[in-house]
Structures are given as C-alpha cells and as structure tokens.
Amino acid sequence: MDPKDLLLLVRVGCLREGALTAWTARQDVELALAESATAAYLRLADRQIPLAPDRPADETYEACRAALAAATGGKGVIGFLDSTLPLVARLAEEFDLPGCSPQTLQALTDKTWARERFAESSVPGPRFRVLDAATPRDDRAAAVDGLDYPLIVKPADSSAGRGVVRAASAAELDAAWETAARFTKTGSLLAEEELIGDEISVETVTVGGRTAVLACTEKLSTRDDSFVELGQAVPARLGGALASEVHEVAAAALKAVGFDHGIAHTEMILTASGPRIIEVNPRPAGDCILDLVRLTSGVDVYDLAADLALGRPVDLDALAETGRSGFTGGAAIRFLTGEPGVVRSVEGVAAAAARLDPARERLVLLTRPGDVVEAVTSNLHRFGYVIAVGEDTRAAVDRAEEIAAMVTVHTSPAAEGEPPARRLPSAECWT
C-alpha cells in the first residue's frame, strides 16, 4: 500500500477547530502537528511534534524539517499564525513544496512594507507614515505632519488587534504611540489616516498568480480606543457593482505584494469613495470565518488549503463562480465579552445551547470561573462565541446576537489576598 501524503501543520492558534476536524477526517493524508506540548489538541494529530513552551524558532524548524525528511510519500506544509509563515515558507522551499516564496511571506510580516507596495501599485488605501517607535516625544508631531486626524497607530509586526490604537487628535498621539510601541519587536510603527465605513474581509485562493474570491465577510469591530473584532458574517451584503470592485481591489492587493500561491485573508474598509485596503494576511482567515464559508457555500477552505499545500489541482473557475453566486444562506459568529476582573460565574449556557442546531451551530466558552480576564483590547480577550445560521445574512446575524445575549459572564475585582490564576479567556486554545 502506498504511504499517505504527510500534511504538516506548524501551530494551530485560536479558533481553528475546523481545520483539525477537516484534516483528521481525511483518509488520504497523515496529519502531523507541531504545537506546544501542553496543547490538548496535539493528541488529535496522527503524528505529534511537541514543542517547548517558549518554542524557539530554530527548535521548531529542526523538528518540522525532520518530520518532512522522514516522509516517504507526498508532503505539504501549512501555517496559520503570522509568526510561523516565514518558517513554513522556508520548509516549503527547502523540500520543493508548493507555496508562496519565503521572501514574500517574510516581507508580509511587516505591515509598513505591504503599505508601501500598495502605494507603488496604486491600490487604494489610507495616507500613512512609517514611524520609529523610539522617536522622542518632542519629534512625534513632526513625524505625522501632513496626515489628518483621527489616526490609527499600530505596530508593524503584530496581529490579532494587539497594539492597534486610535488617536483622535494630536493630544492623544503620545498615548497611542506608546501603546503601539509595546507590541513591536522590530521597533517600527505605522500611522494611517482612519478610514470611515463598514469593514469587510475577502477570502481568496491564488494559484500561479491567478486569484479567485471565495467569499466576502462582514465584520463587526469596536471603533474607539482599540479595534477588536466582535463578529463576522458570510456572505457580506454587497451590491453587484460594489462586489466586483471589492474583488478587483483584493486581487490587485495580492498582486502588489507578490502573493502568488495559497489562501489569503484581505481586509478592507468600504468608504464613501470606494473600497480601501487595510492589509493582506497571507494565510487562511481566523475567527471561524472559514466555518462560515463552509456553512453557506459548501466550500471547505481547510480542505482546499490542504490540497494546495500538497500540490493537488484545484478548480479556480468553479471556486470563483461559487464565490460570486453560490451561497445558499447566511452564517454569523458573535463573540462574548464582559467586564474585566475575576470570573465568578457563567449563566445562561444551557438555555442558549438548547436553541442551537447541533449539526450546524455551536456555543463555545473560552473562560471559566476563577480566571482573571482583562479589558477587551485585542482579539485574545474575548470570552467565547456563538455560531448561528439563517436563511440569509441578516437572519444569521440576528440569531447569533440573540443567542449570544443569553449568556452572561459575571466578573468582579479580586478580593484582598485572593490568588487566582492569571489567564487570558482564550488561554486554552491559544498556546
């Protein structure tokens, strides 16, 4: 019997249950997972590659390299987290596997590099400045001179909304600057004029430089001091002309940064002047967006990502047609949030769960009594989520919000001498 193809997944990250479900169910691949030895889901893989808690890059590379070298059949490698993408591309290049070039993926970990490439290719976006995080306070106003407030200040090399801060006026620039600076390892920041409009993302597949749009996703985000995604919905409610323009901007953005193979997640704002690019993420979307795509179009993007990584053919024309008109309903996710403090109790779970269709919908809690939770300033601080479906996007959103509202997480300040474990709500899926 011929050996199965080896699919190597380098780290999972949060809210990726769908990927593990899809790949462990396949009979034609052997799933190898390189992940923290403490991750509960490591045991689901056919081949386990436990990593030390601090996961040094060289150790991860050597462990993954050994797994690929030992595989006797076909092989492929996938990464979901921005921090792992250069390593994944390095492995793909070394073993002559399909994938985007290491140079492109490494460059795309720097938001300033991507912003400059968009500008060079006339991909519409905000006016911006690249900043040095170490700039003295007295020189900061000059560094953003010519930009109009409000500004969005962000680290060039972070993700999940960490360190993304709004400065409404010059008086708020220093605070935004210093918050963003805490989340950069390279010392580079980006200041952008705030784009006003609805936020969406575009989920795409690219092969040989040719891109097909799989779906457009509506996004619900906080838009005050920080930017945290509180919900997603598929398909986004776009008119025909606007949808075409969105598809064109997404393809142009991917071309501008040289992304020529794989699944991508591109974020935009729909301004009064048209779609404007926020950023390209050269990886499959998080936040269970791909679960929403599968529920509404039948396209399993995780299976698609596996086929691409293994060098198997995909039908771009059929995928593009589904992305244009192949949706049979709506699906939405809404995240649970609450006040910071010690979690004392969680109420309403049983009643909310009873409302769900277990075959298509779910309620997941990412916290439990005794956790210490922080103010919701990044995507890592959300307490859980509800996925719901409906006859269209509006119905799905309404249903997800109604069921999510049934769950209440009660918190209060820690009592004097109380020693709770300090954990993010999502600590059990972020490892």
Q: Are 143 and 254 part of one and the same domain? A: no
Q: Pull the structure tokens for residue 253.
A: 């953005």
Q: Are 212 and 323 part of one and the same domain? A: yes
Give the integer Cα–Cα distance in Å for 320 and 297: 12
Give the CATH number of the domain where residue 25 resides: 3.40.50.20
Confidence (pLDDT) at 423: 65
Tell me the residue range of the domain where 14 lies: 5-97
Residue 121 lies in a domain: no
Q: Are 11 and 56 part of one and the same domain? A: yes
Confidence (pLDDT) at 430: 38
pLDDT band at residue 428, thresholds of 50, 70 and 90? Answer: very low
Residues contacting 16, CB < 8 A, separation 6+: 80, 286, 429
Residue 103 lies in a domain: no
Confidence (pLDDT) at 425: 59
Which range, of 20-29, 241-250, 388-397, averages the lowest pLDDT?
20-29
Looking up tokens 């006026």, which residue turns up?
169
Q: Are 16 and 32 part of one and the same domain? A: yes
Residue 112 lies in a domain: no
Cα dihedral 18, 20, 26, 28, rounded to 10, equals 130
User: Which class for 330: exposed (0-12), middle (13-18), buried (19 or more C-beta within 10 A)?
Assistant: buried
User: How does the average pLDDT of the chain come out, rounded?
Assistant: 89
Q: Are 179 and 158 part of one and the same domain? A: yes
Residue 69 lies in a domain: yes
Residue 423 lies in a domain: no
Give the CATH number of the domain where residue 264 resides: 3.30.470.20
What mean pLDDT do residues 275-281 have?
93
What mean pLDDT do residues 362-388 have?
86
Confidence (pLDDT) at 159: 67
Give the CATH number of the domain where residue 165 resides: 3.30.1490.20
Q: Considering the chain, what percentage of its residues have pLDDT values greater than 90?
A: 63
Confidence (pLDDT) at 347: 94
What mean pLDDT do residues 118-130 have?
94
Question: Element (H or E) spanning 281, and its range?
Answer: strand 274-281
Q: Are 310 and 217 part of one and the same domain? A: yes
pLDDT exceeds 50 at position 160 = yes
Residue 303 lies in a domain: yes
Residue 289: how many CB atoms within 10 A of its CB? Answer: 25
Confidence (pLDDT) at 203: 98
Q: Are 214 and 283 part of one and the same domain? A: yes
Which of helix, strand or coil describes residue 33?
strand
Question: Is residue 411 a contact partner of residue 405, using CB atoms and an 8 Å limit?
Answer: no
pLDDT band at residue 427, thresholds of 50, 70 and 90? Answer: very low
| Total number of domains in the chain | 4
Which of helix, strand or coil describes residue 117?
helix
Q: Are 217 and 301 part of one and the same domain? A: yes
Q: Are 323 and 344 part of one and the same domain? A: no
Cα dihedral 286, 193, 248, 305, rounded to 10, equals -20
Confidence (pLDDT) at 429: 46
Cα dihedral 304, 309, 313, 316, rounded to 10, equals 50
Q: Are 261 and 316 part of one and the same domain? A: yes
Residue 115 lies in a domain: no
Q: Are 223 and 323 part of one and the same domain? A: yes
Confidence (pLDDT) at 239: 84
* pTM of the full structure: 0.90
Give the integer Cα–Cα distance in Å for 105 and 276: 22
